[in-house]
Amino acid sequence: MKHFISLTDLTLKDFREIFQLTEELRNNPQRFNQVLGGKFIGLLFEKPSLRTRVSFEVGINQLGGKAIYLSSQEVQLGKRESIGDVAKTLSKYLQGVILRTFSHQSILEFAKNSQILVINGLTDLLHPVQVLSDFYTIYKRKKDLKAIKICFVGDGNNVCNSLILGSAKLGLNLWVASPLGFEPDKDVIKKALQIVKKTRAKIRILNNPELAVKSADVLYTDVWTSMGKEEERTWRREVFEEFRVDKDLLRLAKKNCLVMHCLPAQRGEEISSEILDSKNSIVFEQAENRLYVQKALLAWLFRR
């Protein structure tokens, strides 16, 4: 069984198939309304969610399946009972689980003990469903992904890590600018550098946002303080001050540069309201595409 834990689980052919399936699904949704007929998919979320939960629940139902939401209070992974025991138990009731957890190790342990499909809905290390959808959104706008410069400015978090791994797999040109000490995960960078030897992707990790943004076709940012680190918010604002996406920073990118944010956004912190609501911004298009791409991903995974 092939789980979806990281974008490195996909080949270039897989990306193409999922994007093609997304197009087919958008154009002819009725054709896919029983792809998950009779299947029950669990949403096991340790972290609260708006976009991930709603888009998956709606998508599963539109594909003919049934979504069952399981909160952290109900399951308590690794506390009330072991992660392995939870995985083995749910494997007897469900056909798939979408897991959203604080620890990446938790999803690895869950997948190891699961007899059903496991999809990574977010961990502290990676957010592959978000970035898979983001690449589709960029593709719809720019077509030739290899011909553009993508820039991520901000905390080297799970979204950034998945952007790096996905860009490496797809052979893209990605520039990342984070404050000193807040760079992307070292093991992720190491893995990406191994991948680029084959794909010839260009991955640059900098501490200078102005240099990274120069002539960018796509400018991506995310919150400075991730969920679970709220007590760090005050001092993080000071550290990240120069990494705010505002009109001065955007001016360094190409005139028609697309601005992306996975949401929720802290307006006035990592991005100004002026830019978030500007004609360059495609953040709500991003959010919409989560539904289509995740439906395609589910259909693709269950067809295998």
Would you say 179 and 206 are in contact if contact means Cβ atoms under 8 Å apart? no
User: Could you say which of 222, 257, 261, 286 is catalytic?
Assistant: 222
- Helix %, strand %, coil % of the chain (to 5): 50, 15, 35
| Own/partner long-range contacts of 52-60 (Cβ < 8 Å, ≥24 apart) | 52/98, 52/100, 52/121, 52/122, 52/129, 52/130, 52/290, 55/287, 55/290, 55/291, 55/294, 56/98, 56/121, 56/294, 58/291, 59/291, 59/294, 59/295, 59/298, 60/36, 60/298
How far apart, in whole angstroms, are the C-alpha atoms of residue 59 and residue 45? 17
pLDDT, one tens digit per residue, over 39-72 is 999 999 998 899 999 999 999 999 999 999 998 8
How far apart, in whole angstroms, are the C-alpha atoms of residue 95 and residue 66? 10
pLDDT at 57 (0 to 100):
98
pLDDT at 234 (0 to 100):
86
User: Could you say which of 62, 185, 290, 294 is catalytic?
Assistant: 290
pLDDT at 1 (0 to 100):
59
| Residue among 262, 254, 239, 130 nearest 178 (CA) | 239
pLDDT at 226 (0 to 100):
79
Residue 203 binned pLDDT confidence (cut-offs 50, 70, 90): very high
User: Could you say which of 53, 127, 236, 261 is catalytic?
Assistant: 127
Write down the mean pLDDT value for the chain. 96
Which residues share a beta bridge with 117?
Answer: 96
Would you say 141 and 258 are in contact if contact means Cβ atoms under 8 Å apart? yes
Would you say 182 and 239 are in contact if contact means Cβ atoms under 8 Å apart? yes
The yes-or-no verdict on residue 109 having pLDDT over 80 is yes
105 is catalytic: no
31 is catalytic: no
How far apart, in whole angstroms, are the C-alpha atoms of residue 55 and residue 59? 6
pTM, 2 dp = 0.96
Please state the rounded mean pLDDT for residues 190-212.
98
3-state secondary structure of 43: strand
127 is catalytic: yes
User: Could you say which of 51, 100, 244, 261 is catalytic?
Assistant: 100
51 is catalytic: no
| Residue among 141, 98, 143 nearest 122 (CA) | 98
The yes-or-no verdict on residue 304 having pLDDT over 90 is no
130 is catalytic: yes
Count CB-CB contacts under 10 A for residue 36.
Answer: 24
**How do beta strands 173-177 and 149-153 pair?**
parallel
85 is catalytic: no
- In the chain, the domains with their CATH numbers are 7-127+287-303 (3.40.50.1370), 129-281 (3.40.50.1370)
pLDDT, one tens digit per residue, over 241-291 is 999 999 999 999 999 999 999 999 999 999 999 999 999 999 999 999 999
Please state the rounded mean pLDDT for residues 99-118.
97
3-state secondary structure of 231: helix
Count CB-CB contacts under 10 A for residue 180.
Answer: 7
The yes-or-no verdict on residue 225 having pLDDT over 90 is no
The yes-or-no verdict on residue 79 having pLDDT over 90 is no
Please state the rounded mean pLDDT for residues 124-137.
98
Residue 77 binned pLDDT confidence (cut-offs 50, 70, 90): confident
The yes-or-no verdict on residue 86 having pLDDT over 90 is yes
The yes-or-no verdict on residue 224 having pLDDT over 90 is yes
68-77, 171-180, 188-197, 217-226 — which is least confidently predicted? 68-77
